[in-house]
Chains A and B, each alone.
Chain A
Amino acid sequence: MKRVAIAAAGITKFNKTEKPLDSLMLSSIRPIFENAKDLEQNDVDVVLTSTNANRNYLANIISELSGIKPKISHSVESLCNSGTNSLVSAYAYVSSGLADVALVVGGDKSDNPGLVLNWDMARGEYVHPIFWSSMFTSAHMRKYGTSLEDLAYVSVKNHKNALDNPYAYFEKSFSLEDVMASKNLTENVRLLDCSMPCDGAAAIVVCSEDRAKKITDTPIWISGIGQKTISASFTKNNDLSSMESTKNAVADAYRMSNKTVDDIDVVELHDAFSICEIIELEDMGFCQKGQGAKFVRDLYDTSDKMINPRGGLIGAGHPLGATGIAQVVEIYQQLTGNAEKRQVSDAKTGLVHNMSAGSTSSTVLVLES
């Protein structure tokens, strides 16, 4: 297989706008062509779009609107991890030699229909994601003594990190008291424990080694990929204090990249809700099971931005189809030393974790400078 690089990235402000999806996507694509050293539209032979907007022929529409006539163009949809699923498809096209340069763009509007998986009748009348989040939270609290305050620290930390992210949805910090006092959606999920659906788009260029050297002086290499889907039904998660698909995906990504958790300098993980960050830190090996809350508290106390430097989904917002790409954009910026106030010093290896529908599916990427 050929080496595969990320050579350019673009992103929009995450907010709520009147802009249509096409326009958001094009807004994230434009800076790529403006800033890349040597990249023209006719160099792109794959265009992949990820969204939950139920839009027909979108990759071809975006190709036409951005002046690209690709060999391959199609959409990739997998709810919240649509973006990283697109990137994995792009990796496959480039590493196999079928394509040289792939443009991957993800975007969504806050009112897109993908927020709830209506197919999952096991959720009964409890269709909203807050209910699966509440089940993970109950299980983790019972098994490990996790407290509401522990959860609140995830939100406080990630909103604080988002203040240094000019593309983040939230532009204000929240104190521990603010989070604790925010509206109770269930007995253990408060409003500020939740990521916010919003509008936004993000784009990256995935390409071969030869092309990467023409496009940029600082390519970032995709060295590890792990993906696992255990089901589409949330209730197929057997152990609710853990995320089986994440554990599978991260093991594969570490194996492929020949890295361990000790090699990872910076992480974007899928904090759809506060409890997710705690469980994912444990399941990806950053701490022992039951120590996720303490790990988060230590990050907060030391102002360490290693985990979710852009503010995660809780601070930056969650436009579903864009989220996975936006996470990759952040790690790309971190590893190229362009993360400005969010920069984690000397970051050489990064990890992206993106999951879907109550962790029924997870994607993990290891990226290296």
Chain B
Amino acid sequence: MTRFEDELKNNNFVCSKCTKCQHFVWPPSEFCNKCLGDTVWEPVSKSAKLVEISSKDGKSFCIAEFEGNIRVFGTISDSLRPNPGHGLVLEYCSYDDTPKFVFSVE
């Protein structure tokens, strides 16, 4: 179990951030994917932006973007159907074989 997965299990979304160029490295890695510098774990903002949306069995799923470059698939808990660019808030995250992200519409 990695620190990333452990933190997700505790409802904390953390990601690695480069100590040299301050870039959030997604997916998390020991090394920065821009400058190969060392990284440390940093909390990720709960604010996200909707990139794209669809639904399955009436439940909306989406790609959301955090911090300008961390894009993840997740579930939208509201019945609202926002357009790309709309603000989302990370309500809940977890880990059970795969990461799990649940958003509400801002």
| Residues of chain A having any CB pair with chain B under 8 Å | 120-127, 131, 134-135, 137-139, 142, 185-188, 233, 235-236, 240
Contacts and interface: CB of A to CB of B under 8 A. Distances in A.
Given A235-B73, A236-B71, A125 B54 contact: no
B99 A124 contact: yes
A135 B98 contact: no
A188 B52 CA distance: 13
Contact of A137 (B54, B56, B75, B101): B54
A124 B54 contact: no
B87 to A, nearest CB: 18
Interface string B10-52: 0000000000000000110000000000000000000000011
A133 B4 CA distance: 27
10 contacts: A121-B98, A127-B98, A131-B61, A131-B73, A134-B54, A135-B54, A138-B52, A188-B54, A233-B71, A235-B71
B9 interface: no
A135 B56 contact: no
Nearest to A132: B73
Contacts of B63: 135, 235, 240
Contacts of A121: 4, 27, 98-99
Contacts, number: 62
Given A233-B27, A235-B63, A123 B73 contact: yes
Contacts of B72: 122, 124, 235
Nearest to B69: A236
Interface residues of B, number: 21
Contacts of B105: none
A187 B99 CA distance: 23
A124 B27 CA distance: 11
Most chain A CB within a 10 A radius of its CB, from B4, B54, B74, B75? B54
Contacts of B27: 120-122, 233
Given A123-B98, A124-B100, A240-B51, 13 more contacts: A121-B4, A121-B98, A122-B27, A122-B71, A124-B73, A125-B75, A131-B61, A134-B54, A134-B61, A135-B52, A138-B52, A233-B27, A235-B72
A186 B53 CA distance: 11
A126 B71 CA distance: 13
Contacts of A233: 26-27, 71
Contact of B100 (A125, A137, A235, A236): A125
B55 interface: yes
B99 to A, nearest CB: 5
A122 B73 contact: yes
Most chain B CB within a 10 A radius of its CB, from A122, A123, A142? A122
Question: Which 8 residue pairs across A and B have the least CB separation, nearest first?
Answer: A235-B71, A124-B73, A134-B54, A126-B73, A187-B55, A186-B56, A138-B54, A135-B52
Interface string B59-78: 00101000000011111000
B28 to A, nearest CB: 8
A107 B85 CA distance: 42
A233 B73 CA distance: 11
A186 B54 contact: yes
A233 B26 CA distance: 9
